Amino acid sequence: MEILYEDTSGKCTRPARRGRFARQSAAPVNKQTNRRKIPAYALLDETALQAIEQQADWILDKIGVEFRGDQIALDLIAAAGARVAEQRVTFEPGLVRKLCSTAPFEFQLHARDPANTVTLGGDHVVLMPGYGSPFVTDLRQGRRYATLNDFQNFVKLTYQSPWLHHSGGTVCEPTDVPVNKRHLDMVLAHLTLSTKPFMGGVTSPERAEDSIAMARLVFGAEFMEQNAVMQGNINVNSPLVYDDTMSGALRVYAAANQCVCVSPAIFAGAMGPLSPAAVAAQTLAEAMVGIALAQLVRPGCPVVMGSFHSTMNLKSGALTFGSPEANLATMALSQLGHRLGVPVRSGGGQITASNAPDGQAMQDSTGAMWSTLLSGAHQVWHAAGWLEGGLVMSYEKFIMDLDHCGAMLTMLQGFETDAEAFGQDAYFETGPGKNFLSTQNTMRHYATANFQPDIPEGGPFETWAENGGPTSAHRATPRWQQMLADYTPPTMDPSTLQALTDFVSDRKALMPDEWY
Amino acid sequence: MEILYEDTSGKCTRPARRGRFARQSAAPVNKQTNRRKIPAYALLDETALQAIEQQADWILDKIGVEFRGDQIALDLIAAAGARVAEQRVTFEPGLVRKLCSTAPFEFQLHARDPANTVTLGGDHVVLMPGYGSPFVTDLRQGRRYATLNDFQNFVKLTYQSPWLHHSGGTVCEPTDVPVNKRHLDMVLAHLTLSTKPFMGGVTSPERAEDSIAMARLVFGAEFMEQNAVMQGNINVNSPLVYDDTMSGALRVYAAANQCVCVSPAIFAGAMGPLSPAAVAAQTLAEAMVGIALAQLVRPGCPVVMGSFHSTMNLKSGALTFGSPEANLATMALSQLGHRLGVPVRSGGGQITASNAPDGQAMQDSTGAMWSTLLSGAHQVWHAAGWLEGGLVMSYEKFIMDLDHCGAMLTMLQGFETDAEAFGQDAYFETGPGKNFLSTQNTMRHYATANFQPDIPEGGPFETWAENGGPTSAHRATPRWQQMLADYTPPTMDPSTLQALTDFVSDRKALMPDEWY
């Protein structure tokens, strides 16, 4: 199944494939509830798309990308026909796109509970919590450094939500754990406290290896040789640099046939030119190189074209999120990824620079989420909890964002235009000026008709004011507290659990604590 | 100029015209800054659109619409071929659409300052403040009944904002003015405190006449015979009823060649069946009848296909806004209006059921605004200030909404994909791993590159927390206060001003106060 765009002739159309050769087919796709039924929005026309693709080719031809300290990567790329001069690699126009062509457009990311297995790509949507925050906040305890307990809490909350399909990666930094041991505790939490797909460590090739080794204890090495059960997030050191940590971790995940998400990180005007067109072109160029490297390591291995981009307040220098320029770049990148023929991780999500889960936070987040989902992005990081430019995971914003994830996923289902939806019988029961509330059609549907948020509504003003006028953020607090109280861990075979905990303690015992 | 939809072949396409006959051409269109350059999103395919249009025809054929107490309207419609039985009117399928066909798809709404003249329809977007709230609120004085002073304040604020193109109508109810005299003070405020287009009174045919008479004092009767300078909002008493107040006011505006906006008001499940498909079909049916009546009164008179719809929390019975079901209906109605060939007033806008300008308020409002603007609605009521299901105009939310209006209008401009946007020279100045902030390309563009909101950003957490952690709502307060302090009234010819104030005092003197 491929992404469908709307057109006005009544036929859904597929994006033109450019420079695609053999297409790797993935395992059969399960029927899932996270498939979009409404078409993707096509922001750009063919002329604009080609201009951006040509600019990406120009960057890779005239400027190139550096692989710093990774001779294996340089050798692989040179052997594939790229020009290598010391650490700098340049490419003939079209070559990188051709190297990406063995990547699948759609594949499964297997979960410990098969019911939670997701498809990445096609018309599927996979939502995930925030990633990478050193702080957490809630309205009771305030802002503080994140701990392993917070990390585990967010894994538990994500596990319980029907609107997040993936446990995420470094949902928040467990800052009370030594830096060199965090990946062990995080992967352990993802594997034991949840049964959703997850991301493993990437901060060194060894930590990537540890993560994969732990997953093998659960899924089996043989299964993982053929199937992806985890993702690694490979951040490009934009502009145009892959350091050996990232390219090394990329090679580890690709070699193990696990999913590589390549995420350029471009603050427009700082890591590249200012314009949305430039952000899109450079993101495409940088991402294609990482995807090409993954395909050279293991043709057909699952990849995601990621992006993370931001605008700035050019007066204050502060990063801004959910800006119109960023949302345009997000929508363009969905289209460009569809044309490349790989799943797209959106640069959007529910992101904001706001310090509080206030109006600005949700204005930024909601707009960024619309640009993400309407344009047909397949995977959405930072779909819940992200605050303060990513410095903070907010327990209340997490709950508020979940409600919006549910609303958006509901909207992506579209609506029926059949006789039951039109309710002709109800018109015969009532008529002009009459109330439809008691009609059979309303009675048949009222229990399930509308999406119902989890945060209770404010209610009539007077009652609400008497109760102290709680904002939606305040009304979210009891919800996450209740969810944590209600949490029941999924079962796991005791010997598997023992093997995991033994692995973690053994690895920890071998390493002195490092705190940087 | 007609609305353009995206497609994937690189060619923008126009919606198919159905049942259109002679098309009334409007006056030449001025170049305006509120034209969209990005394509409209087409939610529905041809099959779904036809199903909804057929359901609208079915409603009008089998159930019909009642005109209560307006024999003139009934006679006009009967003469046009409809079946009239007492007050009930039914139509052969296709007849109403045919009667709508003399309405222009695009026309100008002239402003007192020609620079503020707007085009309704085509690829133009006209944003307006909220409408109809009996209360106002701000963070200093709290929630209270709206007064004429509040009304004048919102007219002044709207006048000053570059992101609102239209002064609105009953922005809030001036509850300190007798009900039967409010329209005089409101029209006076729109005409004297602002130079943007506006809406006149509709709460009785006489008040509509007063409004038009006042406009004639400013624009001249001859000019208004050929040109629209104001709008009247005709609310349908959904389901399927036009009362004589509304159809009478409709006929007054249409006869005067002033713009009639026909707005069905459907709470799904109460004024019609629950589903978005049913809401869209019934809205289309009801709106087409009003548009047809206006065209029968005066063929070619300017009309807008309006809508106002809401979902409900079907557990509590409370109205909800910005829900996924409502946003789907909004997007469908934009498409349906394009196919009917008339400008569309969206059922969305920046609307919410929240009692406070908090996270929920902006989540609801932002999503509703995306559905509105991405789908190609032409006119957006409730684009600023609307809170608490429309009961309240909030000074702070007004400012917060304005920032989002600016962001959305910026996004609708799309982006360039030319050499300057790609900034190739900047790559030669820098290179992999280097910062682009000091490149000539960044220097050339940083002053104008990104949309800049008016609400100051929160700044670094520590500073923000020391300042008491002001939410975006709190940071909006000084902005509206400053705008009101900075307000300078537009000039008006003294004799015109005298004529207006004389008209108002004369009319007031003739009427005893009525408070209901």
Segment A254-302, tens digit of pLDDT: 999 999 999 999 999 999 999 999 999 999 999 999 999 999 999 999 9
Percent of chain A beyond pLDDT 90?
91
Percent of chain B beyond pLDDT 70?
94
Tell me the pLDDT tens digit for each residue of A501-514: 999 999 999 999 99
Helices then strands (H, E): number in chain A? 18, 19
Contact list, B268 vs chain A (CB under 8 Å) = 449
Burial B122-152 (b: 16+ CB within 10 A, else e): bbbbbbbbbbbbebbbbbeeebeebbbebbb
pLDDT given at position A443: 93
Beta-sheet strands, E only, within A104-184: 106-109, 118-121, 126-127, 135-137, 144-145
Phi then psi dihedrals of residue B144, to 5 deg: -160, 165
- Write the single-letter amino acid at A49: L
Q: Count the alpha carbons within 13 Å of B91 in the hemisphere toward its beta carbon.
A: 27
In a domain, B462, yes or no: no
- Write the single-letter amino acid at B1: M
B324/A414 touch (CB, cutoff 8 Å), yes or no: no
pLDDT given at position A13: 45
For residues B284 and B50, give the distance between their C-alpha atoms in angstroms, rounded to a whole number.
Answer: 12
> Which residues of chain B from 87 to 116 reach within 8 Å of chain A, CB to CB?
88
Q: Place B3 in a pLDDT band, splitting at 50, 70 and 90.
A: low
Tell me the pLDDT tens digit for each residue of B216-270: 999 999 999 999 999 999 999 999 999 999 999 999 999 999 999 999 999 999 9
pLDDT given at position B31: 38
pLDDT given at position B20: 33
In a domain, B400, yes or no: yes
Tell me the pLDDT tens digit for each residue of B81-110: 999 999 999 999 999 999 999 999 999 999
**How crowded is residue A285: how many other Cβ atoms within 10 Å of its Cβ?**
28
Picking from A480, A469, A470, the residue whose alpha carbon sits closest to that of residue A399 is A480
Q: Place B409 in a pLDDT band, splitting at 50, 70 and 90.
A: very high
Picking from B380, B362, B278, the residue whose alpha carbon sits closest to that of residue B326 is B278
Give the 3-state secondary structure of residue B202: coil
Q: What is the length of chain A?
A: 516
For residues B60 and B83, give the distance between their C-alpha atoms in angstroms, rounded to a whole number.
Answer: 10
pLDDT at A249 exceeding the cut of 50: yes
Q: Which DSSP state fits A63?
A: I
pLDDT given at position A324: 97
- The distance of B325 to chain A (nearest Cα, Å) reads 7
Nearest to A423 among B273, B439, B471 (CB): B273
Strands B308-312 and A265-267: unpaired
- Write the single-letter amino acid at B366: T
pLDDT given at position B7: 52
pLDDT given at position B4: 62
Q: Place A314 in a pLDDT band, splitting at 50, 70 and 90.
A: confident
Q: Place B12 in a pLDDT band, splitting at 50, 70 and 90.
A: very low
β-partners of residue B120 are B107
Q: Place A516 in a pLDDT band, splitting at 50, 70 and 90.
A: confident
Q: Place B347 in a pLDDT band, splitting at 50, 70 and 90.
A: confident
Contact list, B274 vs chain A (CB under 8 Å) = 423, 436, 441-442, 445-446, 449-450
Strands B135-138 and B142-145: antiparallel
Q: What contacts A483, CB < 8 A, 6 or more positions away? A: A156, A157, A160
Give first-to-last CA distance, chain A, whole Å.
45
Tell me the pLDDT tens digit for each residue of A471-507: 999 999 999 999 999 999 999 999 999 999 999 999 9
Q: Count the alpha carbons within 13 Å of A270 in the hemisphere toward its beta carbon.
A: 13
Q: Place A463 in a pLDDT band, splitting at 50, 70 and 90.
A: very high
Instruction: Specify the higher pLDDT residue, A408 or B314.
Output: A408
ipTM: 0.94
pLDDT given at position B62: 98
Give mean pLDDT, residues B2-24. Answer: 44
Q: What contacts A501, CB < 8 A, 6 or more positions away? A: A188
Tell me the pLDDT tens digit for each residue of A170-225: 999 999 999 999 999 999 999 999 999 999 999 899 999 999 999 999 999 999 99
Total count of domains within chain A: 1
Q: Which DSSP state fits B172?
A: B
Residues B191 and B215 sit within 8 Å (Cβ to Cβ)? yes
> Which residues of chain B from 463 to 492 reach within 8 Å of chain A, CB to CB?
464-465, 469, 471-473
Residues B241 and A432 sit within 8 Å (Cβ to Cβ)? yes
B46/A427 touch (CB, cutoff 8 Å), yes or no: no
Question: What pTM was computed for the model?
Answer: 0.94
Mutate to test the interface with B, among A240, A330, A363, A430 (most CBs of B within 10 A): A363
- A32 by Cβ neighbours in 10 Å (0-12 / 13-18 / 19+) ranks as middle
Tracing tokens 């090679």 back to the chain, one arrives at A251
What is the enclosing helix (H) or strand (E) of A247?
Answer: helix A244-255
- Show the CA angle centred on residue A490, arms to residues A487 and A496, nearest 5°: 140
Mean per-residue pLDDT of chain A: 93
Q: What is the length of chain B?
A: 516
For residues A254 and A298, give the distance between their C-alpha atoms in angstroms, rounded to a whole number.
Answer: 6
Contact list, B373 vs chain A (CB under 8 Å) = none
B457/A400 touch (CB, cutoff 8 Å), yes or no: no
How far, CA to CA in Å, does A122 sit from each of A104, A336, A342, A351?
Answer: 10, 14, 9, 24
Residues A205 and A249 sit within 8 Å (Cβ to Cβ)? yes
Give mean pLDDT, residues B318-323. Answer: 96
In a domain, A58, yes or no: no
What is the enclosing helix (H) or strand (E) of A260?
Answer: strand A259-263
pLDDT at A7 exceeding the cut of 80: no
Mutate to test the interface with A, among B58, B63, B274 (most CBs of A within 10 A): B274
For residues A424 and A433, give the distance between their C-alpha atoms in angstroms, rounded to a whole number.
Answer: 16
Task: Give the CATH number of the domain where residue A216 resides.
Answer: 3.20.20.480
Domain carrying residue B333:
101-411
Q: Count the alpha carbons within 13 Å of B476 in the hemisphere toward its beta carbon.
A: 24
pLDDT given at position A79: 98
Tell me the pLDDT tens digit for each residue of A64-85: 999 999 999 999 999 999 999 9
Give first-to-last CA distance, chain B, whole Å.
45
Give mean pLDDT, residues B47-69. Answer: 98
Q: What contacts A219, CB < 8 A, 6 or more positions away? A: A110, A112, A227, A229
pLDDT given at position A21: 30
**How crowded is residue A312: how many other Cβ atoms within 10 Å of its Cβ?**
22
For residues A337 and A331, give the distance between their C-alpha atoms in angstroms, rounded to a whole number.
Answer: 10
pLDDT at A138 exceeding the cut of 60: yes
- The distance of B56 to chain A (nearest Cα, Å) reads 10
Picking from B322, B358, B462, B361, the residue whose alpha carbon sits closest to that of residue A357 is B358
Residues A174 and A182 sit within 8 Å (Cβ to Cβ)? yes
In a domain, B166, yes or no: yes
- Show the CA angle centred on residue A42, arms to residues B19 and A371, nearest 5°: 115
pLDDT given at position A12: 35
How far, CA to CA in Å, does A508 sit from each of A165, A182, B186, B325?
Answer: 30, 10, 74, 51
Instruction: Number of A to B CB contacts under 8 A, please give it.
Output: 406
Mutate to test the interface with B, among A3, A4, A6, A8 (most CBs of B within 10 A): A8
**C-alpha dihedral, A401 to A404 to A409 to A410, nearest 10°:** 150
**How crowded is residue B154: how many other Cβ atoms within 10 Å of its Cβ?**
26
In a domain, B203, yes or no: yes
For residues B398 and B192, give the distance between their C-alpha atoms in angstroms, rounded to a whole number.
Answer: 21
Residue of A nearest to B367 (CA): A366
pLDDT given at position A11: 42
Strands B241-243 and B65-68: parallel
In a domain, A245, yes or no: yes
Q: What contacts A295, CB < 8 A, 6 or more positions away? A: A99, A100, A101, A102, A103, A254, A301, A303
Picking from B330, B308, B303, B380, the residue whose alpha carbon sits closest to that of residue B96 is B303
Picking from B112, B28, B74, the residue whose alpha carbon sits closest to that of residue B497 is B112
Q: Place B418 in a pLDDT band, splitting at 50, 70 and 90.
A: very high
What is the enclosing helix (H) or strand (E) of B186?
Answer: helix B182-193
- Write the single-letter amino acid at A464: W
How far, CA to CA in Å, does B76 sit from each of B68, B71, B202, B293, B477?
Answer: 14, 8, 21, 7, 51
Nearest to B8 among A7, A324, A356 (CB): A7
For residues B252 and B215, give the distance between their C-alpha atoms in angstroms, rounded to a whole number.
Answer: 14
- The distance of A506 to chain B (nearest Cα, Å) reads 38
For residues A454 and A400, give the distance between their C-alpha atoms in angstroms, rounded to a whole number.
Answer: 9
Chain B touched by A139 (CB under 8 Å): no
In a domain, B67, yes or no: no
pLDDT at B30 exceeding the cut of 80: no
